[in-house]
Structures are given as structure tokens and as C-alpha cells.
Amino acid sequence: MINARGLSKQFISFKKAPGLSGAVRSFFHPEKIYKDAVKQFDLDIKQGEMIGLLGPNGAGKTTLMKMFTGIIVPSCGELSILGYSPAERQKAFRQKIALVMGQKSQLWWDIPAMDSFLLLQKYYEIPKKDFELRVKEMSELLGVVELLHIHVRRLSLGERMKLELMASLLHSPEVIFLDEPTIGLDLVAQENIREFIREYHRKHNATLILTSHYMADVQALCERLVLIFDGQKVYDGSLGDFENILGHEKSVSLSFSRSQNSSLFSDYSPIWNDEKTQVELRVPECSWNSFGKDAFQIDDLVDFNTEKLPIEKVMKTLMTNPDILRQMRT
Amino acid sequence: MMSSIPKWWQTIRIAWSKHTAYRLNFVLQILGPTLVFFFVKYNLWSAVYSTSPETVIKGYTFQEMIQYHVWALVVGLIAQGHMVVNLSEEIRMGRISAYLIYPFNFWEFHTADFLAFQTMQTLIALITIFLIGLSAFLDVPSFQLILTGMTYCLFVSLFWFTLQYMTGLMGFWLEETWMLRVTLRMIAGFLSGAILPLELYPEKLVTFLDYTPFPYLTYYPIKIFTGQFNQFGQAYLVMGLWCLVFIVINKIIWRKGIKMYTAAGM
């Protein structure tokens, strides 16, 4: 389905010294800067999979997406998607894929979305009946029926994003690349978009590759995670395994109505607040049971929290301590 | 081939509504500079000829000189109007990414856009001819002359389009192509007879220019409208060959450029 072997992309840019003299100097003696955006990337994706492609800013996620969609040409390595080589940009290939970019509008700014849709209908050669049915279905599902005939530049970000998503899926693509589709959206809109994507996947069994900085997106949509750091793949596996990447510990916080003895929970590396009424603990999975029993026996206990998004914690830890990733790579 | 006709047609329709979305801007951008330029020229030549109304400069009476510049305005409207579209911006800002994904190519999209633009532009030119015809500036020529002249101007616009497309593709390498485009227009304006009739230049230069495409861009088209030129075979051949050359070069540039395109900003 999607197979990448040793995929690499090197960007060449020119160093520019500040000021006029610098500009003149760099004109005659351009100093090249090479940057490896993606290095030796291997990836195999089966049809119908939903993959989350994660990594900090500048890790190479978008570069990968651009190579997958044929927008940029890889420096070296092999890439095959649906049996096509994306860089050749055959029309048959372009008919079967879609790219949704949260940061970039693909709809034409100065015309209503419906006009853009009609243009896409012609470009993708969608039969009229199918087109009408899909527009009706999707616009109802997303609640944008009223917005189809308004100039796109007058819409809010959330409204526009829904229409962008519609535009990308009108031709029933087999492979969908979603580059931060929920960026800048409010929580309800994010939830709507996620639900819509999930529904589309259920119906069409499309292959989906998603990048996002919102772990909720990833958790809701992806079964498999690929983590990219410094242009290299450092993790490729299930969501469940990823949550346990830092060991099988759960983070728990407890609140009490009165100050407690700070020697309490000393086995779970406790971090107390000054008043000794709140504590954060790391509890190994194996002692979960006995810990629970102990904790609930304390009369002063008023609140008990475990983290909602363990994956978010893992991501945050990895990004603030990139050394862990370097060790993982070796 | 047949299957792409609806794609082109729909793109042209969208381009029409896009170009008219900012109606005032559209009219000002296209008509404004040309009209201002025309009035500068009118006042200049009025001053030059004011000493005696019978003066003839290089074979032009005052009336003929003004007519020359009216036709220069019309030729500019039809042949060069599309120059305002900035293709390199689309490359530099990464906006071409969308066209790389759609099963409709970048050049197809822009050629369709150009065709849409030209039809509107031809209409504007016709209205301009009509309006100026109402005033005393212009003896409106026969319908046949208008038709031949306009057809040739449309052919010239194809030359400008392929050339402009080339400067646009420079956006793969250059950060800004504005200076390049302006310089090109200035040189072309000067050498094509858009600023002054070529008779006013030294004879040697005029003879030399005949070997370049420049006179075919404005000077000869004007002469077609005034009924003083009829070597159409040669005129079409010269423009046609240059278009072909540019199309081939554009293809090569595109192939090289797309390999190093980074889709920055997307």
C-alpha cells in the first residue's frame, strides 16, 4: 500500500549575511547550507490503517507528507503508494489521494465553497449524481449546509476547515493525508472533525495518515503511531505500547482536606505541595491494586485523579528530554 | 482529451467570477494605468505639435500621432493585460502545492485562467474602442480591420503569456521576480513602439529591431488597425515561433524547478 525504503530529503538553502554588503557577498560567494529534513525513513502501511505521525516542530513530518503526496521530490530512497511513485505525479495517482492542510487553504478564497466543489467535481471527474449525494451527506453531517454558498473569505476558521475537509474527500480518496487538520479549532469543532474523519474511514476503509500536535486527535483516530525526530523514525508501534514507553507507571494525584504526614507514599516518588494537602505520585502498574486500597483508606481523601491522556505525558516527556529518543534510536 | 474539456470550461467560469469578485480593483488595475499613460502622451504630443497645427513629424500629423497612441492603448489592453497576474508569488508562497495534488496541472489552470481573462479583456478593449470612437480622437476603422487587428493582438497575448509564465517559473530560483518583470516590460515597451512610434528611432535601430520579435508586439498590430500592414503570414510566423520557443523552455524550466521545489510555507 504505502512502502518507503531509505526515503531521504535534503534541503539546500543559501546563507544570507545581514545588510547590503552581506547581500552582495552572498550573491558572489553563496554559502550553501544543507539540511537533512528526512533521513533514511522506512515505513510500511497496509490498506485501511490509520497512522499518527508525531514529532516536534521541524522534525520532518510535513516534509514526509509532501513527499507522500508528490509535492516535493525525494533526494533519495524508494517510495511507492498504491503502486505509484508519487514524484511522477501521474493523474491516476492524484485521483486517489487527498491532502488536508490545517494551516493552508485549498479552497479558492474569493468564491463560495460550492463553486470550488463544482470545480473539483470536474477535476476529479466525479459523476454528477455521486457528487450531489456526497455534498448533501457530508454537509449535513458537518452541519455546513447553510455555508456552501457564502464566500470562503467570510467564514470563520472552524467553518472553513469543515469545508476544506469536504473538498478533500469529495472524490472518495483511497489514501488521505491530514496535516494538522484541527489546528486552531475549538474543542467542539475538533471533536466534530474527528468524528467526521472516523465516519469516513468506517465507510470507505481508506488509509489515513495524520499529523497533529493534539494528542486527543491521535488517541481518537489512530491505532498505530510513528514518531519522527530529527528526520528519523524513532518509534513505530501501537498506541498502547507507546503509552508504556517510559515504563509501566501511572501518574496519580491525590487531594486531602487536611495536611498529611509527608512520609506517606514514600515508595511512589511523591511530590507534595507546601501545605501537604496535595501529592503527585508515580505508581507502577504491578502495585496499582495495593496502592488503591491504601489510598482509599485515608479519611481525609477528597479527590483522586489519574491522568486522562497518558500519551500526552509521554510526548511531553520525550520532547523535553530528546536524549531518551536518541537512546531509543540506537 | 475530450474528458478535459469540462475541466477547462469550469476553470474558465470560476476564473470569471474570481476576476470580477473585486470589480473595482479589476477595472482600476487594468484600465487605470493605461488611461493615465494615454493622457500623459496626449498632453505631451499636444505641446509638441502646438507651435503649428500643420507640423508633420516623421510622417505623423498630430491626428495620426494621437491615433497611433490610442491603438497602442488598445493593443496593450488586449495583448498585455494579463501581465498583472503574479505567478512567481504562487510558487514562492507554496500556493502551487494545491495544483500539484489536483488531477489538473498548474499550466492548465493558469492557461484556462488566461483564456478567461482574455475574453473579458477583449470585451473591455471593444468598449474602449467604441468610447474613444465617440470622441474625436479616433476614426473608427472598418469592422474587418478591427477583427483582423484584434485576432492578431490575441495571438500576441499568447506570446506575452508564455513569456510571463517563464518569469513566473523563475520564482523557483528567485525570491522576487518583480524587478525582472518590470524591466522586461520597460524594454519591451520601448522597443516595441508602445511608447514612441518606431519611425522616431534611428534607422539602424529600426532595421535591427525588424529581426527581433519587438515590433510585432505593438508597432505592427497598430499598423494592422490603421490598415497600413498586411504581411500577416510573416507576423503570425514570428510570434508563433517565439511562442513555441518559450513553451519548450518553460517545459524544461518546470521540470528542473519542480525537482527543487520545497513547498515552503505550506
Rounded to two decimals, the pTM is: 0.83
- Is residue A87 within 8 A of residue A74, CB to CB? The reply is yes
How close is the nearest chain B Cα to the Cα of A227, in Å?
Answer: 21
How close is the nearest chain B Cα to the Cα of A166, in Å?
Answer: 15
Average pLDDT for residues A91-115, to the nearest whole number?
89
Residue with cell 503570414: B233
Q: What is the pLDDT of residue B129?
A: 86
User: Torsions phi, psi of B194, nearest 5?
Assistant: -75, -30
The string of pLDDT tens digits covering residues B71-115 is 998 999 899 877 666 788 888 777 788 888 999 999 999 999 999
A-chain residue closest to B5, CA distance:
A122
- A281 CB-contact burial (10 Å; exposed 0-12 / middle 13-18 / buried 19+): buried
Q: What is the pLDDT of residue A210?
A: 94
Please say if the pLDDT value at position A322 is more than 80. no
Interface of A with B in 124-163 (CB under 8 A): 124-125, 151
> The dihedral of CA B49, B55, B60, B66: what is its sign?
positive
Q: Does B261 touch chain A (CB under 8 A)?
A: yes
Query: Using 50, 70 and 90 to split pLDDT, how confident is the model at B140?
Result: confident
- Is residue B191 within 8 A of residue B109, CB to CB? The reply is no
- In angstroms, rounded to a whole number, what is the distance separating the alpha carbons of residues A26 and A22? 6
How close is the nearest chain B Cα to the Cα of A321, in Å?
Answer: 28
Neighbours of A131 (CB within 10 A): 19
Q: Which of B10, B11, B262 sits opposite A11 (nearest CB)?
A: B262
Query: Are residues B100 and A71, on separate chains, in Cβ contact within 8 Å?
Result: yes
Buried b (16+ CB within 10 A) or exposed e, A7-26: bbbebeeeeeeeeeeeeeee
Average pLDDT for residues A206-223, to the nearest whole number?
91
- In angstroms, rounded to a whole number, what is the distance separating the alpha carbons of residues A235 and B94? 30
Q: What is the pLDDT of residue B63?
A: 87
Element (H, E) at A169: helix A157-169
Mapping DSSP onto H, E and C, the string for chain B reads CHHHHHHHHHHHHHHHHHHHHCHHHHHHHHHHHHHHHHHHHHHHHHHHHCCCCCCCECCECHHHHHHHHHHHHHHHHHHHHHHHCCHHHHHHCCCCHHHHHCCCCHHHHHHHHHHHHHHHHHHHHHHHHHHHHHCCCCCCCCHHHHHHHHHHHHHHHHHHHHHHHHHHHHHHCCCCCHHHHHHHHHHHHHHCCCCCCHHHCCHHHHHHHCCCCHHHCCHHHHHHHCCCCCCHHHHHHHHHHHHHHHHHHHHHHHHHHHHHCCCCCC
Query: How high does pLDDT run on average in chain A?
Result: 87
- In angstroms, rounded to a whole number, what is the distance separating the alpha carbons of residues B183 and B128? 27
- A70 interaction partners in chain B (CB closer than 8 Å): 100-101
- A94 interaction partners in chain B (CB closer than 8 Å): 101-103
Q: Extract the C-alpha cell encoding A207.
A: 488509509
Q: Which of A70, A106, A111 sits opposite B14 (nearest CB)?
A: A111
Q: What is the pLDDT of residue A329?
A: 60
- A121 interaction partners in chain B (CB closer than 8 Å): 10
Query: Are residues A94 and B102, on separate chains, in Cβ contact within 8 Å?
Result: yes
Query: Using 50, 70 and 90 to split pLDDT, how confident is the model at B1?
Result: low
Q: Does B24 touch chain A (CB under 8 A)?
A: no
Q: What is the pLDDT of residue A330?
A: 56
Q: Does B266 touch chain A (CB under 8 A)?
A: yes
How close is the nearest chain A Cα to the Cα of B124, in Å?
Answer: 22
Query: Are residues B18 and A69, on separate chains, in Cβ contact within 8 Å?
Result: no
Average pLDDT for residues A291-318, to the nearest whole number?
80
Q: Does B1 touch chain A (CB under 8 A)?
A: no
Please say if the pLDDT value at position A328 is more than 80. no
A-chain residue closest to B16, CA distance:
A111
- Is residue A257 within 8 A of residue A277, CB to CB? The reply is yes
Q: Which of A12, A62, A71 sits opposite B101 (nearest CB)?
A: A71
Q: Which are the contacts of A57, defined by CB distance < 8 A and separation ≥ 6?
A: none
3-state secondary structure of A44: strand
- A97 interaction partners in chain B (CB closer than 8 Å): 101
Q: What is the pLDDT of residue A242?
A: 83
Query: Using 50, 70 and 90 to split pLDDT, how confident is the model at A308?
Result: low
- Is residue A51 within 8 A of residue A208, CB to CB? The reply is yes
- In angstroms, rounded to a whole number, what is the distance separating the alpha carbons of residues A150 and A115? 10
Q: What is the pLDDT of residue A309?
A: 62
Q: Which ipTM did the prediction report?
A: 0.82
Q: What is the pLDDT of residue B34?
A: 77
Query: Using 50, 70 and 90 to split pLDDT, how confident is the model at B11?
Result: very high
Q: Choose, out of B4, B93, B100, the residue to mutate when testing the contact with A (most A CBs < 10 Å).
A: B100
Q: Does B146 touch chain A (CB under 8 A)?
A: no
- A151 interaction partners in chain B (CB closer than 8 Å): 21
Please say if the pLDDT value at position B128 is more than 60. yes
User: Which is nearest to B217 in space by CA: B179, B190, B177?
Assistant: B190
Q: Which of A279-283, B159-163, B233-237 is the least confident region? A: A279-283
Average pLDDT for residues A190-197, to the nearest whole number?
91
Q: Choose, out of B102, B106, B108, the residue to mutate when testing the contact with A (most A CBs < 10 Å).
A: B102
Q: What is the pLDDT of residue A115?
A: 92
Provide, rounded to the nearest whole percent, the portion of chain A with pLDDT above 90.
44
